[in-house]
Chains A and B, each alone.
Chain A
Amino acid sequence: MSLTASILSVLAKLLAGSSVRWVDCQPDTCQRVYFANHTSHLDALVLWASLPRNIRMLTRAVAAKDYWDKSALRRYIAGSVNALLIDRENIKVHRSPVELMIQAIGDTHSLIVFPEGGRNASDEMGTFKSGLYYLGKKRPDLELVPVYIDNLNRVLPRGEFLPVPLLSCITIGPPMWLEAGESKTEFLKRAREAVKRLKDI
């Protein structure tokens, strides 16, 4: 891991004061898709930083290209934490985001995704987009791990650029898979519930 990445993860942890809880789930280097609620620009970085070092090196956060490709600094940060930048605007037929993700992880890496799409302004979690379903369908061997990120929206809310160093909490829940014959809507609803349930544990 590069020096910048190490410094970034230490900074992220200090700033977000995050405590990490693994509930019915153990840190493992097997291929996983961590899917979480999205409320702050810091989400991906803080979640990535709170994984154990050996897992962190194998995990790539999926981030929006339109945001992270905008300035040299953002590109540099995204590059040093090995983020996977996905174009949300021009989606080509044979290079859909899901295809790109599957290509990028090969058979070693894990992913961090935010299925709500954009950051959520209200307290209520938005509905999940279908990417998670297709990931689970095309790669049934991937463990889909729900993550609930609490209080990070107060550290750096939408539209703010100066962070306030409050304490946050990251809860990582039990892995789930796409059930046989489960429809897209059913699965996405179940996945969303799995994230929501971690809030109260």
Chain B
Amino acid sequence: MMIEGLHFEPLLGLLQGANWLDTATYWLVFVVIVVLIVASIIGQTLKRQPESVVSPALLRTFNQRVRAWWMMFAILAAGLLLGYTCTIVLFGFVSFWALREFITMTPTRRGDHRTLFWVFFVFTPLQYLLVGVGNSFVKLESASAIWWADTLNLEGIDLYGLYSIMIPVYASLYIPARIALSGDARRFLERSAKIQFSLLICVYSLSYAPALAHLDLLTSKQAVSNTSSTTDDAPPSQDTEEETTDAEAQTSTTRRKWKEGGRAGLLFYFILIVQLSDIFQYAWGKLLGQRVIAPQINASRTWEGFVGGVLTTAIVGALLWWVTPFRIWEAACMAFVTAVMGSAGGMTMSAIKRDRGVSDTGTLVQGHAGVLDRIDSICFAAPVFFHLTRYFFSDLA
């Protein structure tokens, strides 16, 4: 499988083992496809009927949303099927595109040009490179990771320590310094803040989503035989591994290693929960929405929608616990936090768009929404979801 002497592998973050996707993840992907097909059929059927019960504007939004979900699903599924490296690269491109939309929407001055070049072509790729390599120098599974670790004395170094501060510390210090070098002091603080913020939201925060896929997950769930039937469907190749880890778990701690194949599933679960929380908040807001949270920011976000959406997301997140290393109540809590953060992200981006006087971020022209409009909630939820998972459900040793 691997050519001897080719040592680029860890740098590219090729961590994908044979069991990157497990049966539970395939099930979840299958369920999502079915739901999307049903949604598409409903949308198209209603569109064909001239006298329909729903308003045309609502229907148009619905159909646009369904198209966007298909797109998002296709990208995510392609990344997951092709493996860890491709997932990292795809998220990198999404970040790049979102950053492009963000900076386009934000006025910068001529003096910021070279700083922006650094932001796009140095910090963005570097962040994803660091996330991609992740903890492969701790685990040292591949021959090339061992080679790099030996040569550069990197053994045991988890790049979490670097990628979690690279942008908030080093890039944030570099950006104002580089702008100062350009010799244009007008609105200096404002310009620095704009570029720092866009990098933080579009690149740093989003990169925590694919970073989920290199955590060594732990679970407090009961042994496989006692849990739900779905996790029993694991392919036979994993059974031996499960047994050995079970044996270890019984002797050492109450927590066991979660299956390798569950990592991609956790990423998929996270994205799904954020999207569902957007949908539920919208739906509850339409159904019961009375009290608008902040009319100046976004006229369609209501307290009813927020509370209803967050609670529904927590329930659905709990029902999907079988994909994750979480127990049912843990899954409910994680989904709850994710939904709250997602909502905060939506509100924040609304405020920015309102300030800039645009309704969508996609093009300079008003009309159709861009990537940033679709991922704002993911950006806000990803770091929190990642850190909670890392502290409570992963092997930090």
Q: Which of A157, A165, A169 has a CB less than 8 Å from the CB of B364?
A: A169
Asked whether B100 lies within 8 Å of A167 as measured between CB atoms, the reply is yes
Residues of B within 8 A of A117 (CB): none
Segment 260-291 of B: residues with Cβ below 8 Å from A:
none
Asked whether A166 lies within 8 Å of B104 as measured between CB atoms, the reply is yes
Q: Which of chain B's residues has its CB closest to A21's CB?
A: B365
Interface residues of B (CB under 8 A from A): 100-101, 103-104, 108, 110, 113-114, 116-117, 120, 363-365
A110 to B110, CA, bound (A): 33
A155 to B110, CA, bound (A): 10
A61 to B365, CA, bound (A): 25
Residues of A within 8 A of B363 (CB): 19, 167, 169
Closest beta carbon of chain A to B360's beta carbon, Å: 12
Asked whether B104 lies within 8 Å of A151 as measured between CB atoms, the reply is yes
Total inter-chain residue pairs, C-beta < 8 Å: 38
Residues of B within 8 A of A116 (CB): none
Consensus secondary structure, chain B interface: helix
Q: What string of 1s and 0s marks CB contacts (under 8 Å) between A134-167 and chain B?
A: 0000000000000000110010010010111111
Whether A168 is near chain B, meaning CB under 8 Å from some CB there, is: yes
Whether A97 is near chain B, meaning CB under 8 Å from some CB there, is: no
Asked whether B365 lies within 8 Å of A169 as measured between CB atoms, the reply is yes
Asked whether A154 lies within 8 Å of B100 as measured between CB atoms, the reply is no
Residues of B within 8 A of A151 (CB): 104, 364
Residues of B within 8 A of A174 (CB): none
Closest beta carbon of chain A to B106's beta carbon, Å: 10
Residues of A within 8 A of B113 (CB): 154, 157, 160, 164
Residues of A within 8 A of B120 (CB): 164-165
Consensus secondary structure, chain A interface: loop
Residues of B within 8 A of A150 (CB): 364
Given contacts A21-B365, A150-B364, contact A167 B104 (CB under 8 A): yes
Residues of A within 8 A of B116 (CB): 164
Q: Which of chain B's residues has its CB closest to A19's CB?
A: B363
Q: Which of B103, B110, B114, B365 has a CB less than 8 Å from the CB of A166?
A: B103
Whether A17 is near chain B, meaning CB under 8 Å from some CB there, is: yes
Q: Which of B100, B108, B114, B117 has a CB less than 8 Å from the CB of A17?
A: B100
Q: Which of chain A's residues has its CB closest to B103's CB?
A: A166
Q: Which of B100, B103, B104, B110 has a CB less than 8 Å from the CB of A157?
A: B110
A21 to B114, CA, bound (A): 29
Segment 162-186 of A: residues with Cβ below 8 Å from B:
162-169
24 pairs, A vs B, C-beta closer than 8 Å: A17-B100, A17-B104, A19-B363, A19-B364, A19-B365, A151-B104, A154-B104, A157-B110, A157-B113, A160-B113, A160-B114, A162-B117, A163-B117, A164-B103, A164-B116, A166-B100, A166-B104, A167-B101, A167-B104, A167-B363, A168-B364, A169-B363, A169-B364, A169-B365
